[in-house]
Chains A and B, each alone.
Chain A
Amino acid sequence: MVNGVNLLFQFLDNFAFIVLAAAGLAIIFGIMGVINLAHGEFIMVGAYATTLANIRFGLPLLVAVPVAMVATALFGLAVERTIISGAVPNWLWKYARLGLAGGLGRLAALDAVPERAAASIDAATRRLPESPLVEPLYDRLADSMVATWGLSLILVQGARIQFGNSLDQVGTPVVPFVGETISPAQIPLLNLIVENSEFSYSAYRVSLAVIAVGVLAAVYVLFTKTDFGMRARATIQDEDTARALGVDTGRTYMATFAIGSALAGLTGALYAPTITMVPDMGTGFLVESFVAVVVGGPSVVLGTTMAGGFLGAISAAVTNLLGSTFYGRIALLLTAIVLIRFLPSGITGFVRELRERRQEAT
């Protein structure tokens, strides 16, 4: 019986990990068609920001978490403007181009024949391409992967240079009403069944499952009940039509990326007390979140929930059965491979197809 409760706690832990790690990635992938391989490093940014705010600046943890979220969102915004949309390089290029053309024109004016000088200014401006220098990475899956991978290399090594190979860790916060650890005897219904309460689990990590559900609910409300959500969904459905109807898709993308980054920051902040603070801590999050997003499919909230639930359950069951997290991880990854193979559009994509087929039949 204790084993069953152990399984439940482990499942909640896995579920929270997968959902929190995947939520930001799922939003960015689902709406922008950008695969952010630096997502793990965004989480690292959130974790580092929390820890620094707490240790260096003495902010209490409850304040440090929103600070880290804002910091990561701003960071994400900067990344979106410079790399993902290429807006900053293009803006610079626009002015550099004008300057360059002016310079070439002046050079040509040294010929001292005014008409020819005017003509060469003209020729010089015409020869420099007027099209933007950088194409946005929206919906360019492979390119966005490669670019964000480069970003992730820079972030990991940058953090190592700036903060050294590890950072002091903040202590795990005590969960109100529960305490440091949780055992079956503390849970109202379970204590009727389980007399033996020797077994216990970190209460903080289990309580993250509650927060994960809260995050999912917030994302659901954001994308279904608000104006922003409506514009975002319009942009996914048909970008050109949305733009024709007056949606500023560029701004929608910008906001989406910032929200995804903020969620990564939240994840980092929440896991900062439980994970060793090393610069490459992000890779531990990346793979599971990546897999969960793909297994989940196009619907962000439902897909992430189902993928988190399913993969978390498999991993918890195998880890408990074989007594090694190695096998749990292998089982999770193998399940993901098989699922992607048989449901290439993910769980929610499959559900959607079924529904469409049924509608056609009637």
Chain B
Amino acid sequence: MAAETTGSGSNLPRPVVAVVRAWQRVFHGPNTIGNCWQFWAGFAIAVAALFAYPVLAGGYQASRFALFLVYAFLGLSLSVVWGYAGILSFGQVAFFGVAGYTFGIVSLNISSPLGIMGAFVGAVVAGALLSFVLGYFMFYGGVRDVYVTIITLVVTLVLETFMSQTAGDEWTIGAAPLGGFNGMPGIPELTVPIPALPGVWGSPVVLGAGDGTFYRFALVLLVATYLGLRALVNSDYGRVMVAVREDEDRTRMFGYDVERVKLAVFTFGGALAGLAGVLYAAWGNYISPGVYALTFASLPVIWVSVGGRKSLLGALVGSIALAFASNSLVGQWAFVIIGALLLVVVLFLPRGFVPAARDVVLFAWRTARRYRGGEAEGGVSESPDAAADPEVTDP
């Protein structure tokens, strides 16, 4: 048990205890679910299974599945912005699309491996830049609550309208025609230049969709992003974000610069959505104004609210599971089922599916322990935050 491992009377070697403690200090906290060794065991199994997926299901299936991993970045970005900082952005797809288009334009013009890497970075920066400008415009102008939602939605629709009319020849940037409704085909795949000798670029690695390398790349990036976000939301800064979500005025009264926090989180969310956009454009070698459409803009909101917006795991699982389900649900009833699911979740599980499932698991676990005759104290030690907290001193 985690409690015994970390307790003082442990018979584990000291370095192991130190590592476990450090791990807990960074990744455990009240803002995430799964603060116990059972969770991490399940997490490790899930990640291993996902890594084994291309071997078991073949490269084609894996490359299809990679799209849902890409969507998970988008879901995570909304979870950070909406679930943790309380800013309901309907415009995550705006940053997604801008980054995708930027990646397409730059990489079509400079299609060397180094150029593609530059396009990758530049596109994420473009997404972040747009969200920074938009966020500055809104938060420092006193725009709050639902008005933020509407402005972000309207920005998305402006982009859709604008990109839809770029069919003419005058809308060609270098070698990249924007293509109006038809979108931009032929976007190159992600390519990583590997330095072989100092100053010389060796053979580049193409992260193609066909052989599952793109899938693995996206998976590694996703696991790293999840862990990074977990560390973020459980840090002091994460606590301030949650405070802003819970009560903006009170947080301001305690001396925090609420506008700056919101702007920083919004920009960060924009960068993350931009990363998703780059991966999307590279995955399908294609991007079109459809990514700005109202239906696509609503998808992240759906994923995240069904999964559980106030938990990263909920957003992650919700995005992947729902994107997978709606892709596999063939036939005309797919959207009816998705819509009904959304209604059921908002009405009956407003916190989302994953937090509710966790409560059920905990309840079952505790009940089972009680009937086995254990002392039934605690069960799964779900909250070691009490032990992790004393070091925390807020400024």
Contact = CB atoms under 8 A, between A and B. Distances in A.
Contact of A147 (B143, B164, B346): B346
Interface stretch (B58-66, B149-157, B316-324): B149-157
Interface centre among A83, A153, A286, A340 (most CB of B within 10 A): A153
Interface residues of B, number: 43
Given A142-B88, A291-B154, A330-B161, A344 B144 contact: yes
Contacts of B346: 137, 143, 146-147, 150
A156 B336 CA distance: 9
B171 to A, nearest CB: 12
Given A149-B302, A324-B165, A157 B150 contact: no
Contacts of B350: 135, 143
Given A330-B158, A344-B144, A147 B150 contact: no
Contacts of A290: 150, 153
Contact of B164 (A86, A157, A326, A337): A326
A161 interface: yes
Interface in B161-198: 161-162, 164-165
A114 interface: no
Interface string B53-96: 00000000000000000000000000000100000100000000
Contact of B342 (A153, A326, A344): A153
A283 B295 CA distance: 9
B150 A153 contact: no
Interface residues of A, number: 43
A301 interface: no
B348 A150 contact: no
Contacts of B348: 89, 133-134
B335 A156 contact: yes
Contacts of A329: 161
A124 to B, nearest CB: 15
Interface centre among B138, B144, B150, B153 (most CB of A within 10 A): B150
Interface in B21-36: none
Interface centre among A89, A156, A287 (most CB of B within 10 A): A287
Given A149-B302, A330-B162, A154 B294 contact: no
A229 to B, nearest CB: 25
A342 B342 contact: no
Contacts of A89: 347-348
Contacts of A157: 332-336, 339
Contacts of A342: 141
B381 interface: no
Contacts of B336: 153-154, 157-158, 161
B158 A333 contact: yes
A326 B166 CA distance: 11
A151 B162 contact: no
A341 B151 contact: yes
A336 interface: yes
B146 A153 contact: no
Contact of A142 (B146, B154, B162): B146
B91 to A, nearest CB: 11
Interface in A137-195: 137, 141-143, 145-147, 149-154, 156-158, 160-161
B179 to A, nearest CB: 15
Nearest to B340: A154
Contacts of B342: 146-147, 149-150, 153
Contact of A340 (B150, B162, B334): B150
Contacts of A336: 154
Contacts of B146: 35, 141-142, 145
A61 interface: no
B343 interface: yes
Nearest to A84: B347
Nearest to A327: B165
B305 interface: yes
Given A157-B335, A294-B147, A337-B154, A147 B347 contact: yes
Nearest to A152: B339
A334 interface: yes
Interface of A: 35, 83, 86, 89, 133-135, 137, 141-143, 145-147, 149-154, 156-158, 160-161, 283, 286-287, 290-291, 294, 324, 326, 329-330, 333-334, 336-337, 340-342, 344
Interface of B: 82, 88, 137-138, 141-147, 149-151, 153-155, 157-158, 161-162, 164-165, 294, 298, 301-302, 305, 332-336, 338-343, 346-348, 350
28 contacts: A83-B343, A83-B347, A89-B348, A137-B346, A141-B149, A146-B301, A147-B343, A147-B347, A150-B340, A150-B342, A152-B339, A153-B335, A156-B335, A161-B332, A283-B294, A290-B153, A324-B165, A329-B161, A333-B154, A333-B158, A333-B161, A337-B154, A337-B158, A340-B150, A341-B137, A342-B141, A344-B142, A344-B144
Which are the 8 A-B pairs with shortest beta-carbon distances? Answer: A150-B342, A153-B339, A154-B339, A157-B335, A147-B346, A326-B165, A150-B343, A150-B339
